Amino acid sequence: MKERILLVLCLGCVLCCAPKKTSAPPQNRPFPSVEIPIMLEDPGERLAWLAQHFWDRYTTPDSLYFCDSLHVNGVLKEDVEKEMGFFARLLEQVSPADGSRAMQQLFSRTEAFQQAKPSGNLMPEMTELVAKYFYDPNSPVRSEELYLPYVNGLAHSELLSPTERQRYAWQAELCALNRPGTPAADFVFIDTFGHRRTLYGIKADLTLLIFGNPDCQACEEIQETFSANEALSEAIASGQLKVVDIYIDEDVDAWKQKIDTYPSNWINGYDPAFVIRTDLIYNVRALPSLYLLDANKTVLLKDCTPENLFATLGL
């Protein structure tokens, strides 16, 4: 009996003194970048290949790395976001077709990964980053044209609820308005002299359409930037480029009081029926919103930055 009691005490001592097993803290893994094939020597081909395959190794579903509030498939969120920023800049350097294919590839691989690894957090995290860099109006690399392939995928993904798919379908519909290469939607406006005019009635080789507001600080900065550019001023003075600034809000009296703040060589007006906002002829999500149109009013640039505009005009 004494021997049994001694054995139990010894066993208890062993159990109490034995080191407790603790799970090791998760270790960060670096973003798994891809290597461009050495046989590709043309710089354009190399960029296009990199855009198409940028996320390949990261979205391969053969392994599931830890996912928590700090990590996305084993990589720190801040590192994934840095890669998304690099990817966004990369897409600015490839053709529109290559950029669209790269975004389609990103969505397809992200969706496939999520299907294979339902416990992972890749799809929601990547969707948030894609929206931040390509759809957020405050993003310096925003592009609804590049966001469209991804959001189209979301609108049809069986991994999302019907409500989510409907929301993304609405976003896709808005992104499809006035796409580059399509005719810009015409509209009626009243100019500063009270004349009723139309967008298509503006005759010029190029038309810069601006949706702005005299109380918008960013709009003022755009005016200053354009006024400081001599080449742009010369293009306006020669009639080659006409700038059409349209006020689309409802306080027309406030706009009229600040007409003198607009450059005199611009065509300034307001939307008398407020159809641009209410009927969603254009998807104006933030001011100012800039569109570059050719002589036939075909969209060349949609909701572009001044940098995109100057680069396209060669200024």
**Residues of the domain holding 104:** 43-175
Residues 203 and 300 both lie in one domain: yes
Q: Which of 127, 144, 175 is the last residue of a domain?
A: 175
The predicted model scores a pTM of 0.85
Burial of residue 189 (number of CB atoms within 10 Å: 0-12, 13-18, 19+): buried
- Does 17 fall in a domain? no
Q: Tens of pLDDT along 236-262?
A: 999 999 999 999 999 999 999 999 999
What SS3 class is residue 181?
coil
Q: What is the 3-state secondary structure (H, E, C) of 147-167?
A: HHHHHHHHHHCCCCCHHHHHH
Residues 198 and 286 both lie in one domain: yes
Residues 252 and 166 both lie in one domain: no
- Does 78 fall in a domain? yes
User: Could you tell me which residues are beta bridge partners of residue 290?
Assistant: 210
Which phi-psi region, left, alpha or beta, contains residue 104 (left: φ > 0; alpha: ψ -120 to 50)?
alpha
**Total domain count for the chain?**
2
Range in 78-82, 147-151, 193-197, 275-279 the model is least confident about: 275-279
CA distance 148 to 100: 8
- Does 284 fall in a domain? yes
Residues 224 and 147 both lie in one domain: no
For 36, 51, 71, the CA distances from 33, given in Å and listed in that order, are 10, 12, 17
Q: Label residue 27 by pLDDT band (50, 70, 90).
A: low
Residues 201 and 303 both lie in one domain: yes
Output the pLDDT for position 2: 39
Place of tokens 């002829």: 281
Q: Tens of pLDDT along 28-85?
A: 799 999 999 999 999 999 999 999 999 999 999 887 787 788 999 999 999 999 999 9
Q: Tens of pLDDT along 91-114?
A: 999 999 999 999 999 999 999 999
Residues 51 and 157 both lie in one domain: yes
CATH code: domain of residue 217: 3.40.30.10
Residues 108 and 226 both lie in one domain: no
CA distance 246 to 52: 38
Residues 171 and 202 both lie in one domain: no
